Amino acid sequence: MKITPGNKSTSIILFMIIILVFFISCSSIILENNQEELELIKNVFYEAGYYYYNTETDIYTIYDINKKQIGYVFLVEGMSYSGTGLFSKLPAPMTILIGLADKNTIKNIYVVDHDEDIIFWNILIEKDYFEQFVNLKIKDAALRSEGGQIDSVTGATLSAMSVVDIVREAALEKAKKIK
């Protein structure tokens, strides 16, 4: 049998190939569970089992072990203050992992890296400063003195301001990219 464009067998084969290509391109998202990345993600979503990383938005969509979507995570770097005395107010990078339960709510945050003075940083930890971000509406992620719901910490004011400013700006920006 000769295969020609008008041949019924050729048409069926071409149709099957088109359908196969369509289903492959529209297949469900391939979920990842790289253990190193997953361990970092679990600092804000302890129930995370899988994730999908969107390279266009730099946002991880997080799924539980049953592959149910539970939120979003992204890593941001902002400038903070480091040092004391002569070196105070020198800009230094701070990297924060931010988890969003949805487009409006911060699930949790985790500071991955910072160059803050350890004395000031320990004050934030001792005063449970970071706990204030848990399940906080993004619109409320500001110091109380600026109309938000975050209490500053006496003795570590600049460090507290750095964290809240980085989190608020990044969460507002990334929330716009979540569909």
Beta bridge partners of 75: 97
**25 against 165, higher pLDDT:** 165
What pLDDT does residue 88 have?
Answer: 57
Residue 6: pLDDT above 50?
yes
Measure CA 83 to chain center. Answer: 28
**Mean pLDDT score, 115-121:** 87
Instruction: Kindly state the tokens that stand for 174.
Output: 């990334």
| CA pair distance 17, 89, nearest whole angstrom | 62
Structural contact between residues 171 and 108, judged by C-beta atoms closer than 8 angstroms: no
- pLDDT of amino acid 92: 82
Mean pLDDT value of segment 82-102: 77
Whether residue 15 has pLDDT greater than 70? no
Q: When comparing pLDDT for 5 and 154, which is higher? A: 154
What pLDDT does residue 123 have? 94
CA atoms within 13 A on the CB side of 160: 26
The pLDDT score that the predictor gives to residue 80 is 84
Average pLDDT, the chain: 85
Q: Is the pLDDT of residue 131 over 90?
A: yes
> Are 94 and 115 a contacting pair, CB within 8 Å?
yes
What's the CA gap between 14 and 1, in Å, rounded? 17
User: Among 127, 93, 129, which Cα is nearest to 113's?
Assistant: 93
Instruction: Choose between 175 and 23: higher pLDDT.
Output: 175
Contact 51, 19 (CB under 8 A): no
CA dist., res. 33 & res. 64, Å (int): 11
**pLDDT higher than threshold 60 for residue 4:** no
The Cα 122–Cα 59 span in angstroms is 30
The pLDDT score that the predictor gives to residue 134 is 98
The mean pLDDT of 48-73, rounded to a whole number, is: 96
